[in-house]
């Protein structure tokens, strides 16, 4: 049993997750969330995405693509979001299982053909495949880590958003 | 005709885009690109995504979700990536059409049900829908802007990645 796990294993506030889970079990409507961001164009291929009160996320393109190469580009930001999401999944599920994380690093890469973005061909302008390699050093048997790995992948919000078709509506105001 | 458009309309280096397009027409293999990011877990639900030599993109979760609320969370970063990608699309296509952009802002939001992430139900842990509203002030007739809008949406790398199912492989090293 792992019920005597302290709230601070892996510095994760697993009790907060537990409270949210109980609140949603009591009132399923509380699971419905809406998240937001606002992007401001700054000239050239530069823009910044504002989320709540945080420092904006800057964006640019490499010079070869017509940008000024001052920040990660949007498709790199997408890989970043996936990796950050998987990290939360491992931290949450390993902590819930009472397993200490010693180190966690995730390498991500995705393949993208530029023909469609550049208007040279119809088809898929996006990633044709995305791969993530998880380097996890944690205090448990490989079989247990593999089991948790499966759970993380099968419950990842960004992972599911990428691997499933999401209805996307873009309106000109 | 827009061939006498200066390279600096909207501060976009449209000639670089033209050179890339020509290079890919001459050698289609050059369109195949691979993008990368590396995420390091930092304790709790905090992590940072490193892309090339840029400042890392920090990530955290709100306190209600067990985080320490120091940065946008991964699903917010995903909306940011989409908005930044659409901004590049408008900047590229409006500039190619010789149209000056006076202002461009994109509001994004997405709906996400927490049941699956929290392990309370199988199903979709990701966004069920994503909406973007584009506020574009540019020097052209509404019909022309609507035409360019359609082109941007139909050639957006992040838009396509979200609206189509992408093969995603996550391996435990």
Note whether B13 contacts A: Cβ–Cβ < 8 A: yes
CA distance A148 to chain B (A): 10
pLDDT at A11 over 90: yes
Q: Which residues face A168 on adjacent strands?
A: B130
Contacts of B20 in chain A (CB under 8 A): 64-66, 114, 118
A105: tokens are 């690093």
Contact between chains at B173 and A136 (C-beta distance less than 8 A): yes
Mutate to test the interface with A, among B80, B104, B122, B125 (most CBs of A within 10 A): B80
Check CB contact of A162 with chain B, cutoff 8 Å: yes
SS3 label, residue B80 = helix
pLDDT per residue as tens digits for the range B3-52: 544 559 999 999 999 999 999 999 999 999 999 999 999 999 999 999 99
Question: Cβ–Cβ of B79/A35 closer than 8 Å?
Answer: yes
Domain B73-165 carries which CATH code? 3.30.300.20
Instruction: Tell me the domain boundaries of chain A.
Output: 37-71, 73-163
In which band, very low, low, confident or very high, does the pLDDT at A7 lie, cut at 50, 70 and 90?
Answer: low
* Secondary structure, 3-state, B4-52: CCCCCHHHCCHHHHHHHHHHHHHCHHHHEEEEEEEEEECCCCCEEEECC
Confidence of residue B1 (pLDDT cuts 50, 70, 90): very low
Q: Nearest CA to A158 among B35, B106, B152, B80? A: B80
Do residues A76 and B51 touch, judged by C-beta distance below 8 A? Answer: yes
Rounded to the nearest integer, the mean pLDDT of chain A is 95
Partner A, chain B 81-120, Cβ-Cβ below 8 Å: 81-92, 101, 103-120
Do B84 and A119 make contact, defined as CB atoms within 8 angstroms? no
Q: Is B23 on the interface with A (CB under 8 A)?
A: no
Give the model's pLDDT for residue B7: 53
- Please determine, for residue A160, whether its predicted confidence score (pLDDT) is greater than 80: yes
- Each residue of A31-84: pLDDT tens digit? 999 999 999 999 999 999 999 999 999 999 999 999 999 999 999 999 999 999
pLDDT at A2 > cutoff 90: no
% of chain B at pLDDT higher than 90: 95
Q: Determine the pLDDT at residue B12.
A: 96
Is B120–A24 a contact, with Cβ atoms under 8 angstroms apart? Answer: yes
Q: Is B165 helix (H, G, I), strand (E, B) or coil?
A: coil
Q: Which of B38, B73, B167 has its CB closest to that of A129?
A: B167
Which tokens hold the place of B111? 């709906």
The answer to whether B167 contacts A128, with C-beta atoms less than 8 Å apart, is: yes
Say yes or no: B6 contacts chain A, CB-CB below 8 A: no
Residues 120-149 of A with CB under 8 A from B: 120, 124-136, 145-146, 149
Higher pLDDT pick, B2 / A155: A155
Determine the CATH number of domain A73-163: 3.30.300.20
Return the percentage of chain B with pLDDT > 70, whole number: 96
Whether the model clears a pTM of 0.90, i.e. scores above it, the answer is: yes
**Do B116 and A155 lie within an 8 Å CB cutoff?**
yes
The answer to whether the CB atoms of B115 and A28 lie below 8 A apart is yes
- Check residue B5 and give its pLDDT: 46
By three-state DSSP, how is residue A100 classified?
coil
**A103–B41 CB contact, under 8 Å:** yes
At B173, the pLDDT band (50, 70, 90 cuts) reads: very high
Q: Give pLDDT tens digits for B100-111.
A: 999 999 999 999
User: Quick check: B157 and A112 CB within 8 A?
Assistant: yes
- Residues in chain A with CB shorter than 8 Å from the CB of B9 are none
pLDDT of residue A39: 98
What is d(CA B161, CA B145) in angstroms, rounded to the nearest whole number? Answer: 24
Residue A4 pLDDT greater than 80, yes or no: no
pLDDT classification of A95: cutoffs 50, 70, 90: very high
pLDDT at A5 over 80: no
| Chain A residues with beta carbon closer than 8 angstroms to that of B13 | 44, 63, 66-68
The residue of chain B nearest to residue A170, with distances taken between CA atoms, is: B132
Segment B116-140 mean pLDDT: 96
């Amino acid at each position: 049993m792992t019920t005597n796990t302290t709230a601070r294993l892996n510095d994760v506030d697993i009790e907060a997750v537990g409270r949210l889970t109980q609140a949603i079990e009591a009132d399923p409507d509380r699971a419905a969330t809406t998240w937001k961001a606002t992007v401001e164009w700054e000239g050239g291929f530069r823009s910044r995405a504002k989320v709540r009160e945080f420092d904006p996320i800057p964006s640019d393109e490499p010079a070869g693509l017509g940008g000024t190469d001052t920040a990660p580009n949007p498709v790199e930001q997408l890989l970043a979001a996936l990796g950050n999401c998987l990290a939360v999944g491992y931290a949450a599920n390993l902590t819930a299982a009472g397993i200490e994380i010693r180190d966690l690093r995730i390498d991500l890469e995705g393949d993208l053909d530029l023909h469609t973005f550049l208007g040279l061909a119809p088809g898929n302008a996006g990633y044709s495949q995305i791969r993530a390699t998880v380097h996890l050093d944690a205090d448990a048997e490989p079989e247990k880590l593999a089991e948790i790995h499966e759970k993380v992948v099968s419950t990842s919000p960004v992972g599911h958003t990428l691997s499933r078709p999401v209805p996307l509506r873009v309106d000109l105001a």
